[in-house]
Structure 1
């Protein structure tokens, strides 16, 4: 009994430290034990294993388990890993899982993410997934292969990271990651990846292919052993997008039948103008008008006759059960089609393209997850508040999405320099009331307070605040949770204020 009490109190203390770190410093406290697992299909080359070992060590994971099993056995092995962590009754500072399998064989990897996210001792802790393709005969795959197959990716689970590789050899991707981790351990993982994406894109054919990260993290994740309570170290990558030229914004919003939507339009429109964007607002578009407005916006940029630094598109509407946007006529339009329209803009090649989507992506409502504890726990210590079950996740896809739309998450692209922010994870409701939506209103508040900071860092703070809110939906008296989903192939720091 004494052992169980001591173990529970230790877990509670570490949870409190982590929560305090996120609240005060905006960083995860990853000073606890780190758990790592490598799952590889048979025949993976020894060079792949060596490269992964080096990356694990560079990220602070001194030891790890390796299991060589067919892809069909990955889920079972991950369940074993989760059960072993839960059996130790010790909160883990961070978990890392590397998945190596031939292209096209790792179907629906999100099931693996969900399995680890159900681990009790990992609740509120970052979970890193490295998804790496191997080619025929166990060698790292070369160029020209299609991406990971499977259904559109579901939303991320708490504190998760995934990695894939595009037209560059995955070995080169891992070597670059290892070098950056060793040289700049004080950078956050997102900062490291932004710099790595820059290198990968520069070396890829045409300089347009780029890895993609997908995040629902609530704070900065630094794995270099830097205590989160220490003073801020030197800043991250100095390479920054030049936003000194024209910046254009297009806001498409369905106001009809969406109470509070007008407040979102006004707040976001005011923010864009304050940041120097030439802003166009269109309200109550039909499904066809969504497409036509994007096409016209792209044509205007291509024919403006001058350089364009950045484009921002906000799409606000009711969402369908599969994440479609609904026009005022009730017809559906796929947001991916709208994003692809702007990605064809010639003057925006090499420049950031930002998409903000305030819409439901399904009908599920998240009750959140709280710490696992014995029944008497609440009488001894105050229980930490629940967090969204899909929060605290970072996935990194080094494998760019192919033309069939398979592979990395919905909304990512084979091109670089795209940032997409969803108000909800896939399959879930995005909340809004008469005052506006949690996402847009919090976004405007955070960006107005810190317009010169890196946008990915600001979005992480936006997500933290959204995740802290308890929402009472119109069809339920129980509090519900929500979190953002951020997809990025940015190759430089993006600061919206010049």
Structure 2
């Protein structure tokens, strides 16, 4: 781990071995230390290590650091590592200590570790860390998301039967390059880093239009974009919850029986969302988004090929007021920033462990983009949704660029918008969540 942190540019850091139940408390202390230093903080990295299945609510830890005033508008990176080891937690040695963390470090790092009944002889994510350090050292000018995509490729290729792949979740609004050299997005992309899209491209659009103002505009815009990008488009409006599942199953079967090679699939799901992120069919019944993603991940024709999911739906009822100054008509000021922006989570479960997040182990080559952060409202008006309309605009302007870079740009623009919801007199903010287990660059 020490070599990885140095390769990433985090030379000063603090390391603690604690009970997993104390992770939240430790993150709170870390946040307080950053806020009282009174010096600029450019980026923070938190590494959390725990046996598989023990780190059950990482979002609480992420939320804790998102409240850090010193880190408003700055990237916050969480590296979540788990092994297949399971056992009872034991008290840790408090003298494990702190390691040369200097006050005023612009890139502070915090590492928390919790072990079971006995430390493992060879920790299972070791290959992940070794590859991460090596790639960072070899390509310091690459963006962090580009580094992770290459890393996922190497880790997956070395796993048993090529079934294991990590996942990252990002709400970054821009490119993050941790190396000393300038960022160069197109030069030195590396060998075999781009998906081959020479085969058939297929798209499925499922949209609930009834009682969803502007939804027809989203459907039309996405359909036209997909056709312009060479996708064969299937469309169904006002599906019931059961029809969502049936349409995905039929779509998968159609691809599996397709005579020629299939190189890419895109699925757009547009509907009202439930309080826990469920999709609501036209009949008001619920379907879990993860079930729909899982259906297509079983498609044999798409094995090793990219699968894109776009979710235009609320994921809860929270209307984010944002943080920071608000731009006013008579005063030029930076716009408020969505509370959940600028966060990157890297999930690396051990092979064979219980999935901690959809799209994790065994589900490589998936890109999922949500119109709202977890628990938040997704906005839409008579012209369509901010997410879909911005996405179409950005991709049409740069169809040949890497899709992850384009989605980051979409998020930047969505985050800049101030939204006045139908049941609120105050401006609100929105932020995308982008999940990726892609192993190559995806250029449509």
> In structure 1, what is the Cα distance between the partners aligned to 2:176 and 2:75?
8
Equivalent of 2:341 in 385, 391, 407: 391
1:457 counterpart SS class? helix
User: Taking structure 1 as the reference length, what is the TM-score of the superposition?
Assistant: 0.78
2:16 counterpart SS class? strand
> In structure 2, what is the Cα distance between the partners aligned to 1:400 and 1:461?
32
> In structure 1, what is the Cα distance between the partners aligned to 2:351 and 2:85?
20
> Is 1:492–2:440 an aligned residue pair?
yes
- 1:13-32 alignment runs, 5 A limit: none
> In structure 1, what is the Cα distance between the partners aligned to 2:337 and 2:60?
20
Aligned partner of 2:180 in structure 1 is 225
> Is 1:251–2:186 an aligned residue pair?
no
- Contact 2:15 2:110 survives alignment (8 Å): no
> In structure 1, what is the Cα distance between the partners aligned to 2:416 and 2:323?
12
Equivalent of 2:250 in 277, 293, 296: 296
CA apart distance, 1:403: 8.7
> In structure 1, what is the Cα distance between the partners aligned to 2:298 and 2:227?
25
CA apart distance, 1:384: 2.6
Moved over 3 A (4+): 134-138, 160-164, 235-238, 400-404, 410-413
- 1:94-133 alignment runs, 5 A limit: 94-133=43-82
Aligned partner of 1:285 in structure 2 is 239
Describe the shift of the 1:403–1:255 C-alpha distance in structure 2 as closer, same or farther (beyond 3 A): farther
- Contact 2:372 2:432 survives alignment (8 Å): yes
- Contact 2:17 2:112 survives alignment (8 Å): no
- Contact 1:214 1:394 survives alignment (8 Å): yes
Equivalent of 1:370 in 304, 317, 324: 324
- Contact 1:163 1:395 survives alignment (8 Å): no
Describe the shift of the 1:412–1:267 C-alpha distance in structure 2 as closer, same or farther (beyond 3 A): farther
CA apart distance, 1:401: 9.2
Aligned partner of 1:307 in structure 2 is 261
Aligned partner of 1:21 in structure 2 is none
> In structure 1, what is the Cα distance between the partners aligned to 2:126 and 2:250?
42
Aligned partner of 1:419 in structure 2 is 367
- 1:310-459 alignment runs, 5 A limit: 310-370=264-324, 383-399=333-349, 406-408=355-357, 410=358, 412=360, 414-459=362-407
> In structure 2, what is the Cα distance between the partners aligned to 1:190 and 1:174?
16
Aligned partner of 2:118 in structure 1 is none
- 1:173-188 alignment runs, 5 A limit: 173-188=128-143
Aligned partner of 2:105 in structure 1 is none
Aligned partner of 1:236 in structure 2 is 189
Count residues in correspondence.
410
> In structure 1, what is the Cα distance between the partners aligned to 2:279 and 2:350?
24
**Once the two structures are superposed, what CA deviation does each residue of 1:434-489 show, in whole Å capped at 9, x if it has no partner?**
00000000000000000000000000000000000000000011110001101110
2:221 counterpart SS class? helix
- Contact 1:412 1:487 survives alignment (8 Å): no
**Once the two structures are superposed, what CA deviation does each residue of 1:167-215 show, in whole Å capped at 9, x if it has no partner?**
x931111010000111100000100000000001111111122000111
> Is 1:471–2:419 an aligned residue pair?
yes
Unaligned runs of 5+ in 2: 88-108, 114-122
- 1:73-152 alignment runs, 5 A limit: 73-134=22-83, 136=85
> Is 1:209–2:164 an aligned residue pair?
yes
Give the aligned CA root-mean-square deviation in angstroms: 2.5
> In structure 2, what is the Cα distance between the partners aligned to 1:264 and 1:457?
22
> In structure 1, what is the Cα distance between the partners aligned to 2:81 and 2:273?
32
> In structure 2, what is the Cα distance between the partners aligned to 1:135 and 1:400?
6
- Contact 1:354 1:418 survives alignment (8 Å): yes
Describe the shift of the 1:232–1:215 C-alpha distance in structure 2 as closer, same or farther (beyond 3 A): closer
Equivalent of 1:198 in 153, 157, 160: 153
> In structure 1, what is the Cα distance between the partners aligned to 2:159 and 2:181?
33
- Contact 2:124 2:350 survives alignment (8 Å): no
1:458 counterpart SS class? helix
2:169 counterpart SS class? strand
CA apart distance, 1:414: 2.6
- Contact 2:82 2:348 survives alignment (8 Å): no
Unaligned runs of 5+ in 1: 1-51, 139-159, 373-377
User: Taking structure 2 as the reference length, what is the TM-score of the superposition?
Assistant: 0.87
Aligned partner of 2:124 in structure 1 is 169
Aligned partner of 1:32 in structure 2 is none
